[in-house]
Amino acid sequence: MSRYIKTTWLCFVLAVFCWITALLLDTAGLKVWLGIFAIAFMILFLCFLAVSISQKRNKNASPYRIFAIVDGIIGVCVLAYALYDFMTDTGWFAGMTGMLLLLFVMPVILLILLGDFLVWKFRETGKKK
């Protein structure tokens, strides 16, 4: 089993653990943080799943590029849905889902994308030396 497959399963298990722990706790602040970590682990799970599949199909594919593309696609989809939610919802909680997505999910996506960029840059500079 490759390291990407192991990382994929680890991210999935950590996401499920965070969700279940958040459901069982009574502390509101801790629930928010566990929810954010669960979202981050699920995004990492999807990105590493795409990397694992691409590595099975093509060994020469860049895992950093595939990770960044999948993370970018997730970010664009979340942003598009948030904007759609702002434009179409009416009533008391109009646009609440979109606002929550922009406040909690988009920063996680951007931090993961930044982390991928930094790892890629440090790996590239390490190979040139």
The distance from CA 54 to its chain's CA centroid, rounded to whole angstroms, is 18
Range of the domain at 56: 3-128
Number of domains in the chain: 1
Both tokens assigned to 67: 């990770």
Summarised one tens digit per residue, pLDDT across range 29-76 is 899 999 999 999 999 999 999 999 999 999 898 899 999 999 999 999
Q: What does the pLDDT read at residue 129? A: 57
The residue type at 82: A
CA distance 127 to 109: 27
Whether 1 shows a pLDDT value over 80: the answer reads no
Summarised one tens digit per residue, pLDDT across range 15-31 is 999 999 999 988 888 99
* Contacts with 109 (C-beta within 8 Å, 6 or more apart), sequence order: 43, 71, 74, 75, 78
CA distance 18 to 88: 32
